[in-house]
């Protein structure tokens, strides 16, 4: 009955009947649904030229919003009944909001514009009832704003795009070797020095091309507050990531004492202008721990544990208490060569450098837990043992996630072979800066976040799934759009909808609904990859990538 993406659990309708929405249609919002009331008026109302004036509960020409505690928190029920208007009930304010997203899709592509293009057009919602609820609680997108900075407006835009796909966690990768993107008042050099680089390699690390234009940017603390509040209004939790102890050259360039000064002259380091895994990692000293505790203290205030409540909108704040500490790809050469690191290993009675990393991560796990926050890190944090309560982002395939779930840790499944959206989406020569395996729209549609190795109890530790957008070869928003869309639509359906096993998924039906969805993406101004391949300006002829051949390893 519907073209809705992600597909709802159940939809029943009368094909020939519809509920008109016009300038006289009112909007009535029960207590607790004011956020969606604001969003509907500001977004749908603006797009279609509908005032949606405040109305009465019993107005038959109205859109009515209410809470219904018989529904699961994020579930909703949307009923469009001729002569009785439209009613959205949600199990929580979030459920009502997801119902409003469905209402927007039911109104056609013009509902995705910012102003009316056909002021006299009639608008109508197909008559019927949709009952819907998500499969997973964590439906995420990781944005790497460190490799290429995404200005604040772009982040707000991505929050809107996430909301339109019922995604609810922005994993915000804020720091890396190539840039530090968040203002820290007590350490101003992190942004003065760490937020820009003099030049950037254009293409994969074997590419001979350079862009000699300086690249940089950062979010002020007020920018972050705005982003968090904007996300909370859309029932999206923002989980910040400060990547330690590897991926830290930008921080070391700003504060050379953070590096292994007894091994390298860290005062000569600059923000990295190249790609790959970087040997310049943090020194495991008390001074480093204290430095990052100071950084985290400021960040915990900027990313409050209950962001929805603390930004003044009541709701379902599932994951704001998480704090991501990275922990991936930390080469150990400098620690092996560093007398100071070796002394630390001996003092702590540790077996080796891997155990030293585990100690480092464990320090912040305890530090965060003492402040009522939950640590999450890439699956390397499992090595050497992990305190209970910590959660894992499983990126090196499913194995880390399986091990974590078996050990009783919560897991977010984001295996690189499946849902790294920097990987190329078609095999052709025209694919811009081809990275990794070919992962088509259909491949993403057939991605299954819960591996069969997990029994039912273990599978409950899979909080959900996220798609990861690493931006080494995405120099601007247009390149991000190209890599992310349309695959994020398929990913959203995997995360939200109750799909059958991968081989049984009806990709033809998804493709049919995508026809309507491309119209929505066009109205939103998303620079997606067309099904026929890249448009000329979406190509990057001659820019070297790193394509991997054959099917990706399945597990
Ligand atoms: C990662 O891709 N290094 C988490």
Domains detected in the chain: 10-132 (3.30.379.10), 138-547 (3.20.20.80)
Residue 485, φ and ψ in degrees, nearest 5: -115, 140
Residue 541, φ and ψ in degrees, nearest 5: -60, 135
Predicted pLDDT at 105: 98
Predicted pLDDT at 313: 46
User: 192 C-alpha vs ligand 1 centroid, how far in Å?
Assistant: 26
Residue 241's H or E segment, with its range, is: strand 237-244
Residues with CB under 6 A from ligand 1: 328-329, 378, 395
Opening angle at CA 259, ends 254 and 264, nearest 5? 110
User: Among all chains, which residue has been given the structure tokens 């009502």?
Assistant: 96
DSSP secondary-structure letter at 44? I
Instruction: Decide: pTM greater than 0.75.
Output: yes
Displacement of CA 257 from its chain's centroid (Å):
32
Mutate to test the pocket of ligand 1, among 326, 329, 379, 393 (most ligand atoms within 8 A of CB): 329
Mean pLDDT by 10 residues, the chain (555 residues): 92 93 97 96 98 97 97 96 98 96 98 95 96 97 98 98 97 98 98 98 96 98 97 95 98 98 98 98 98 98 79 58 96 98 98 95 96 95 83 96 96 97 95 96 98 97 98 98 98 98 98 98 98 98 93 72
Predicted pLDDT at 96: 97
Closest CA to 470 of 480, 457, 478: 480
Closest CA to 119 of 47, 179, 185: 47
Mutate to test the pocket of ligand 1, among 244, 378, 414, 435 (most ligand atoms within 8 A of CB): 378
Residue 247 a catalytic site member = yes
Predicted pLDDT at 314: 41
User: 328 C-alpha vs ligand 1 centroid, how far in Å?
Assistant: 6
Q: Which two tokens stand for residue 517?
A: 């969805």
Q: Do the bridges between strand 123-132 and strand 169-173 make them parallel or antiparallel, or are there none, so unpaired?
A: unpaired
Report the C-alpha gap between 190 and 546 in whole angstroms: 31
User: Which of ligand 1's atoms lies nearest the C-alpha of 416?
Assistant: 2
Predicted pLDDT at 310: 53
User: 411 C-alpha vs ligand 1 centroid, how far in Å?
Assistant: 15
Residue 101's H or E segment, with its range, is: helix 93-106
Write down the catalytic residue from 171, 235, 247, 461: 247
Predicted pLDDT at 309: 55
Query: Which residue has the CA at smallest separation from atom 3 of ligand 1?
Result: 328
Report the C-alpha gap between 314 and 290 in whole angstroms: 35
Residue 422 a catalytic site member = no
Query: Which residue has the CA at smallest separation from atom 2 of ligand 1?
Result: 395
Q: Is the CB of residue 441 less than 8 Å from the CB of residue 485?
A: no
**Is the four-CA dihedral 175, 181, 187, 189 of positive or negative sign?**
positive
Residue 297 a catalytic site member = no
- Cβ atoms within 10 Å of 90's Cβ, excluding its own: 29
């Amino acid at each position: 009955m519907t073209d809705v993406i992600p597909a709802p659990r159940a939809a029943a309708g009368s094909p020939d009947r519809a509920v008109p929405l016009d300038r006289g249609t009112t909007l009535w919002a029960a207590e607790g649904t004011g956020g969606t009331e604001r969003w509907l008026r500001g977004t749908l109302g603006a797009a279609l030229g509908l005032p949606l004036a405040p109305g009465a509960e019993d107005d038959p020409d109205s859109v009515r919003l209410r809470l219904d505690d018989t529904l699961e928190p994020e579930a909703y029920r949307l009923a469009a009944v001729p002569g009785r208007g439209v009613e959205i009930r949600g199990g929580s304010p979030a459920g009502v909001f997801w119902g409003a997203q469905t209402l927007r899709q039911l109104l056609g592509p013009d509902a995705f514009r910012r102003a009316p293009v056909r002021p006299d057009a009639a608008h109508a919602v197909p008559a019927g009832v949709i009952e819907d609820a998500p499969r997973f609680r964590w439906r995420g997108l990781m944005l790497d704003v460190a490799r290429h900075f995404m200005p604040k407006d772009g982040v707000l835009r991505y929050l809107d795009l996430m909301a339109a796909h019922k995604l609810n966690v922005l994993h915000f990768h804020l720091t890396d070797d190539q840039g530090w993107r968040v203002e820290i008042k007590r350490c101003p050099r992190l942004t003065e020095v760490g937020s820009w680089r003099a030049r950037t390699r254009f293409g994969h690390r074997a590419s001979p091309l350079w862009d000699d234009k300086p690249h940089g940017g950062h979010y002020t603390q007020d920018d972050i507050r705005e982003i968090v509040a904007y996300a909370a209004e859309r029932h999206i939790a923002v989980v910040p990531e400060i990547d330690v102890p590897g991926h830290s050259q930008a921080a070391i360039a700003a504060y050379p004492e953070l590096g292994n000064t007894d091994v390298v002259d860290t005062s000569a380091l600059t923000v990295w202008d190249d790609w790959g895994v970087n040997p310049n990692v943090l020194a495991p000293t008390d001074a480093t721990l204290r430095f990052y505790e100071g950084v985290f203290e400021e960040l915990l205030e900027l990313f409050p544990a209950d962001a929805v409540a603390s930004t003044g909108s009541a709701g379902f704040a599932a994951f704001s208490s998480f704090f991501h500490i990275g922990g991936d790809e930390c080469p150990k050469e400098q620690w092996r060569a560093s007398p100071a690191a070796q002394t630390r290993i001996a003092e702590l009675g540790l077996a080796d450098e891997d155990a030293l990393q585990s100690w480092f991560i464990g320090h912040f796990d305890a530090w965060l837990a003492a402040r009522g926050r939950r640590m999450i890190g890439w699956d390397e944090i499992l090595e050497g043992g992990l305190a209970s309560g910590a959660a894992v982002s499983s990126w090196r395939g499913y194995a880390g996630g399986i091990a974590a779930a078996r050990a009783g840790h919560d897991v977010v499944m984001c295996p690189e072979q499946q849902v790294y959206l920097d990987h190329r989406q078609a095999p052709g020569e025209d694919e811009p800066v081809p990275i990794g395996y070919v992962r088509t729209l259909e491949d993403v549609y057939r991605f299954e976040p819960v591996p069969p190795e997990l029994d039912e109890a273990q599978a409950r530790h899979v909080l959900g799934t996220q798609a990861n957008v690493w931006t080494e070869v995405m120099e601007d928003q247009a390149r991000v759009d190209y890599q992310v869309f349309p695959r994020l639509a398929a990913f959203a359906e995997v995360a939200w909808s109750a799909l059958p096993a991968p081989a049984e998924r009806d990709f033809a039906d998804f493709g049919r609904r995508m026809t309507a969805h491309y119209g929505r993406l066009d109205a939103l101004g998303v620079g997606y990859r067309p099904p026929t391949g890249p448009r000329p300006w979406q190509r990057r002829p001659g820019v070297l990538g790193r394509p991997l051949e054959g099917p990706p390893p399945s597990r």
